[in-house]
Amino acid sequence: MRVLIEGEKYNIEDLEALFDSPKFYIQKGLEGTINAVGYYHSFDRNQLVYMLPKVFMKNEKETVFGVSKDVLFDLELHFSFKHKEEYQWIRQLIVFFYNSLKEYKRRNSDNIIIETNQSLELNTNIGRNEYTYLDLLLTFVNFYKKNKNTILFKHIEFKSNQAKKPKWEKTIRKSLPFLDSSNTPIYSQITNKKKIVNNEEELIVYFFSILHHFNKNHQLQLKIDSSYNIVEGTVFAKLQKTGLSKLRKIKHRYFSDTLKKMFRLCEIYFQQTDTSSIKKKKEEFISVKNYNIVFEDMVDKLFSDKLDSPKDGISLNDLKNNNDGKIIDHIYEDQSLIDTSNIFFIGDSKYYKSNSEAGKLSKYKQFTYAKNVIQFNIDLLNKGEVYKENIRYRDEITEGYNLTPNFFIYGYIEDVNDFDNPNLTQHTELPIKSFHFEDRLFDRDTLFVHQYKMNFLFILKAYSTFNQYTITEFRDKAQRDFRRQFINFFNDATKSRFTIYEKELIKEEAEKFVNANFKVLNGKCFYTNDGKLLIAKYFNDTIPLQTGFEIKELM
Using the 3D structure, point to which of 267, 288, 309 is the last residue of a domain.
288
Per DSSP, the three-state class of 514 is: helix
- Do 229 and 301 share a domain, yes or no? no
- Do 304 and 408 share a domain, yes or no? yes
In this prediction, residue 200 carries a pLDDT of 57
> pLDDT tens for residues 423-467?
999 998 899 999 999 999 999 999 999 999 999 999 999 998 888
| The amino acid at 461 | K
- Do 335 and 469 share a domain, yes or no? yes
- Spatial separation of the C-alpha atoms in residues 338 and 483, rounded to whole Å: 11
Closest CA to 535 of 519, 547, 549: 549
- Do 198 and 160 share a domain, yes or no? yes
- Spatial separation of the C-alpha atoms in residues 174 and 157, rounded to whole Å: 20
In this prediction, residue 36 carries a pLDDT of 87
In this prediction, residue 424 carries a pLDDT of 94
Using the 3D structure, point to which of 235, 256, 280 is the last residue of a domain.
280
Say if 128 falls within a structural domain. Answer: no
Q: pTM of this prediction?
A: 0.76
- Spatial separation of the C-alpha atoms in residues 374 and 437, rounded to whole Å: 18
Sign of CA dihedral 238, 240, 243, 245: negative
- Do 224 and 320 share a domain, yes or no? no
- Do 306 and 394 share a domain, yes or no? yes
What contacts 359, CB < 8 A, 6 or more positions away? none
Please report, to the nearest 10 degrees, the dihedral formed by the alpha carbons of residues 69, 73, 78, 83 taken in order.
110
Closest CA to 272 of 368, 375, 413, 131: 131
Say if 512 falls within a structural domain. Answer: no
- Residue numbers of the domain that contains 234: 133-280
DSSP-assigned letters across all residues of 70-127 = HHHHTHHHH---TT-GGGHHHHHHHHHHHHHHHHHHHHTTT-TTEEE--S-----SSS
Print burial letters for 494-511: b (CB count within 10 Å at least 16), e (below 16): eebbbbbbbbebeeeebb
Question: Do 7 and 33 meet the contact criterion of CB atoms below 8 Å apart?
Answer: yes
Question: Do 411 and 454 meet the contact criterion of CB atoms below 8 Å apart?
Answer: yes
Stretches where the chain sits below pLDDT 50 are 80-83, 118-130, 196-197, 278
Say if 148 falls within a structural domain. Answer: yes
- Spatial separation of the C-alpha atoms in residues 370 and 387, rounded to whole Å: 16
Say if 301 falls within a structural domain. Answer: yes
Say if 367 falls within a structural domain. Answer: yes
What total number of domains does the chain contain? 3
- Do 256 and 297 share a domain, yes or no? no
- Do 147 and 112 share a domain, yes or no? no
Say if 500 falls within a structural domain. Answer: no
In this prediction, residue 131 carries a pLDDT of 61
- Do 330 and 364 share a domain, yes or no? yes
In this prediction, residue 6 carries a pLDDT of 92
- C-alpha atoms less than 13 angstroms from C-alpha of 32 in its C-beta half-sphere: 21
- Do 98 and 141 share a domain, yes or no? no
CA 453 to mean position of chain CA atoms: 15
Say if 153 falls within a structural domain. Answer: yes
Using the 3D structure, point to which of 288, 308, 343 is the last residue of a domain.
288
- Do 43 and 143 share a domain, yes or no? no
Question: Do 391 and 343 meet the contact criterion of CB atoms below 8 Å apart?
Answer: yes
- Do 150 and 110 share a domain, yes or no? no
User: Using CB atoms within 10 A of its CB, is residue 474 exposed (0-12), middle (13-18) or buried (19+)?
Assistant: middle
- Spatial separation of the C-alpha atoms in residues 180 and 163, rounded to whole Å: 20
Integer angstrom CA distances of residue 358 from 228, 342, 453: 57, 28, 12
Say if 343 falls within a structural domain. Answer: yes
> pLDDT tens for residues 48-57?
888 899 999 9
